[in-house]
A and B are shown apart, each in its own frame.
Chain A
């Protein structure tokens, strides 16, 4: 219980610091480049609109008050505006929360698809190659995986894009084609068509990571005494592999899968960019290119907080799954 409490306290502190850093970056930029937030978000605004904007953003307040206000608003779902107007209308824009609400699901869908695909391929492959350690199949798989490990998501994405362009018969779009109801409903035909290539691009390196990790972990586990015990009980190999060897090995896999979310987010940003997929990474890049600093700041904070939460959940899950850790921590 005590550890759970400390974990939550720690989580809250980290969230505070992460949001604080995201917020301060904007101020740091002002100091570093000399151009104000107003110049960035409303370069073509009329003086009147700029003054209004200044008031709207409370830029005259002390720094910590600004942060507090920003955090309070963010907590209630208000991340400010993406400014779209010019001249006198420069203080008008779209709510960032609305944009994010529409685009975050696309990114999450993409990442879940990629994780699923990676695990569906990596798990059986990892278990089987560990079981057949040293066989020709194992060796060939290892060489392929070594190459896949070195393949960045952007290379996979670009290669798939080129392939799709050369093979239009496959019916897979090289770029996202706008459809009315985005985010798409998962697992519909149209959704899968649109998401297939981005998913594969993102999954390629993950497959290799998970497969190699699981394989080496399983090989180590299969040499444990308790595997011999299970064998000596007359348990069939399939059950020995899945029930006895896979479970302890899967714990490391889970940790890495959790830590990989950071990499996955990075990969998703790049893949979304290449396939023009309107996810949150794509929007982040748009906001950077459009100097929408308020929006950029909000998206970075949102991504960072999601990432912190995912890692927190993985940590909890890990504790639940491994009885040794569960008890060691409960006692310690």
Chain B
């Protein structure tokens, strides 16, 4: 056995040490708030979900729903000084919330990694691509410089970068956005993490390369049996790529379900509204897309009752007074936070009474239905 093989095995031993049963990641009532001049901004407000090995969960919501903060909070990447966190995020049983920086550093890049939103800014502009990849390899795996370079080359090839050899010696600005995002992915998967966060990985890219990058992520995820948290504002993105979906609104999960179930039997009005905002190929051209009226609520002084009530077409007095809990539906693994879930007779009645009363968001639904 060659010495470099033996060395690279030291790195993989870590993975064998972890237990193989139970979910990879369990997030329990995770809360994250920023201290601001106006008060605490509750960006993530009691999120619970779990993720099995090799599976993908899509976290969907508008900007400001707390979905990006959630992924950074789980990973522990937020600055410590002006932030309040509580709850648990267990990675193979180890709580990431209470972990020290030292402990997190051993996990970052090695066990969990992140693909960031904007490849234009997430690569170091004055460092060669090759070095940015070998850096993470050498940080976590006890390997020689030459071998790390070989690995980097293989990684670049595996993420579909042509002329990878030459690219190793190039700087980020010499590459297009799509290519850069491939490099970011190569860095993230370099040490074979078990958990990959993809934080709006295609938002900053041209429409034409978005699908390629998503396909690449999915392919790598399957090949390397990684679990992935795919954060996006676009339900369409996760529709075919996620096993489960959690819809976030104002820092909370308002609906969670396996992907098929969600698309078949969505229950939360917000999920429904997101769905309406996806362009559909089947629809006649020039069909108006329904934008969601109003704005996400103020997370420093949130409204009482249901967070979505100010924008909801089905809103009733009960919604404004009382916050709905996460209710399990008849479908397996499906839960939602709504008093008048979509598709029920109560929901229908609520809409009609609102339309009679002239509630703007409800009246707007008349044409759409």
Q: Do chains A and B touch in the complex (CB under 8 A)?
A: yes
Say whether A233 contacts B109, CB under 8 Å. Answer: yes
Say whether A232 contacts B77, CB under 8 Å. Answer: yes
User: Is there a chain A Cβ closer than 8 Å to B212's Cβ?
Assistant: no
Chain A residues near B125 (CB, 8 Å)?
Answer: 226, 248, 323-324
Say whether B124 contacts A234, CB under 8 Å. Answer: no
Known: A226-B121, A232-B113, A324-B125. 5 other contacts (CB 8 A): A225-B116, A234-B104, A234-B107, A235-B135, A324-B126
Please give me the 7 A-B residue pairs with the lowest Cβ-Cβ distance, nearest first: A234-B108, A234-B109, A225-B121, A233-B109, A233-B136, A323-B171, A225-B122
Cα–Cα distance between A232 and B123 once the two chains are bound (Å): 12
Cα–Cα distance between A318 and B46 once the two chains are bound (Å): 50
Chain A residues near B187 (CB, 8 Å)?
Answer: 229, 233
Residue of A nearest to B78 (CB): A228
User: Is there a chain B Cβ closer than 8 Å to A62's Cβ?
Assistant: no
Cα–Cα distance between A236 and B184 once the two chains are bound (Å): 19
What are 28 A-B residue pairs whose CB atoms fall within 8 Å in the complex? A224-B121, A226-B122, A226-B123, A226-B124, A228-B77, A229-B116, A229-B122, A229-B123, A229-B187, A232-B109, A233-B135, A234-B104, A234-B105, A234-B106, A234-B107, A234-B108, A234-B110, A234-B140, A235-B109, A237-B101, A247-B126, A248-B125, A248-B126, A323-B171, A323-B173, A324-B126, A324-B171, A327-B174
Chain A residues near B118 (CB, 8 Å)?
Answer: 225
Cα–Cα distance between A244 and B172 once the two chains are bound (Å): 14
With A232-B75, A234-B139 in contact, do A244 and B124 touch (Cβ < 8 Å)?
Answer: yes
Chain A residues near B106 (CB, 8 Å)?
Answer: 234
User: Is there a chain B Cβ closer than 8 Å to A322's Cβ?
Assistant: yes
Which B residues fall within an 8 A CB radius of A?
A: 75, 77, 101, 104-110, 113-114, 116, 118, 121-127, 135-136, 139-140, 171, 173-174, 184, 187
Cα–Cα distance between A226 and B104 once the two chains are bound (Å): 18
Say whether B77 contacts A231, CB under 8 Å. Answer: yes
Min CB gap A229→B, angstroms: 5
Which interface residue of A224, A232, A323 has the most chain B CB atoms within 10 A?
A232
Cα–Cα distance between A225 and B121 once the two chains are bound (Å): 6
Cα–Cα distance between A227 and B126 once the two chains are bound (Å): 12
User: Is there a chain B Cβ closer than 8 Å to A230's Cβ?
Assistant: yes
Cα–Cα distance between A226 and B122 once the two chains are bound (Å): 4
Chain B residues near A226 (CB, 8 Å)?
Answer: 121-125
Overall SS of chain A's interface: helix
Min CB gap B175→A, angstroms: 11
Cα–Cα distance between A231 and B105 once the two chains are bound (Å): 8
Chain A residues near B140 (CB, 8 Å)?
Answer: 234
Min CB gap A123→B, angstroms: 17
Chain A residues near B114 (CB, 8 Å)?
Answer: 229, 232
Cα–Cα distance between A230 and B123 once the two chains are bound (Å): 9
Interface size class of A (residues with CB under 8 A): 20 to 34
Cα–Cα distance between A248 and B173 once the two chains are bound (Å): 14
Chain B residues near A229 (CB, 8 Å)?
Answer: 114, 116, 122-124, 184, 187
Min CB gap B142→A, angstroms: 14
Chain A residues near B77 (CB, 8 Å)?
Answer: 228, 231-232
Chain B residues near A232 (CB, 8 Å)?
Answer: 75, 77, 108-109, 113-114
Chain B residues near A248 (CB, 8 Å)?
Answer: 124-126
Chain B residues near A251 (CB, 8 Å)?
Answer: 126
Chain B residues near A323 (CB, 8 Å)?
Answer: 125-126, 171, 173
Chain B residues near A225 (CB, 8 Å)?
Answer: 116, 118, 121-122
Say whether B75 contacts A327, CB under 8 Å. Answer: no
Min CB gap B60→A, angstroms: 22
Chain B residues near A327 (CB, 8 Å)?
Answer: 171, 173-174
Min CB gap B202→A, angstroms: 16
Min CB gap B170→A, angstroms: 9
Say whether B139 contacts A324, CB under 8 Å. Answer: no
Which interface residue of A226, A248, A251 has the most chain B CB atoms within 10 A?
A226
Min CB gap A223→B, angstroms: 10
Cα–Cα distance between A112 and B108 once the two chains are bound (Å): 43
Min CB gap A153→B, angstroms: 33
With A233-B187, A244-B127, A324-B171 in contact, do A228 and B116 touch (Cβ < 8 Å)?
Answer: yes
Cα–Cα distance between A236 and B101 once the two chains are bound (Å): 9
Cα–Cα distance between A297 and B338 once the two chains are bound (Å): 87
Chain A residues near B116 (CB, 8 Å)?
Answer: 225, 228-229
With A228-B77, A229-B116, A229-B184 in contact, do A234 and B136 touch (Cβ < 8 Å)?
Answer: yes
Cα–Cα distance between A231 and B116 once the two chains are bound (Å): 12
Chain B residues near A244 (CB, 8 Å)?
Answer: 124, 127
Min CB gap B35→A, angstroms: 13
Cα–Cα distance between A319 and B11 once the two chains are bound (Å): 39
Cα–Cα distance between A258 and B171 once the two chains are bound (Å): 26
Chain B residues near A231 (CB, 8 Å)?
Answer: 77, 108
Chain A residues near B123 (CB, 8 Å)?
Answer: 226, 229
Chain B residues near A247 (CB, 8 Å)?
Answer: 126-127
Min CB gap A27→B, angstroms: 49
- A211-244 contacts to B, CB under 8 A, are 224-226, 228-237, 243-244
- Per-residue interface assignment for chain A, residues 144 to 174, with 1 indicating a CB less than 8 Å from any chain B CB and 0 otherwise: 0000000000000000000000000000000
Cα–Cα distance between A127 and B127 once the two chains are bound (Å): 19
Chain A residues near B121 (CB, 8 Å)?
Answer: 224-226
Cα–Cα distance between A313 and B124 once the two chains are bound (Å): 26
With A226-B121, A228-B122, A231-B77 in contact, do A236 and B105 touch (Cβ < 8 Å)?
Answer: yes
Cα–Cα distance between A247 and B135 once the two chains are bound (Å): 16
Chain B residues near A324 (CB, 8 Å)?
Answer: 125-126, 171, 173
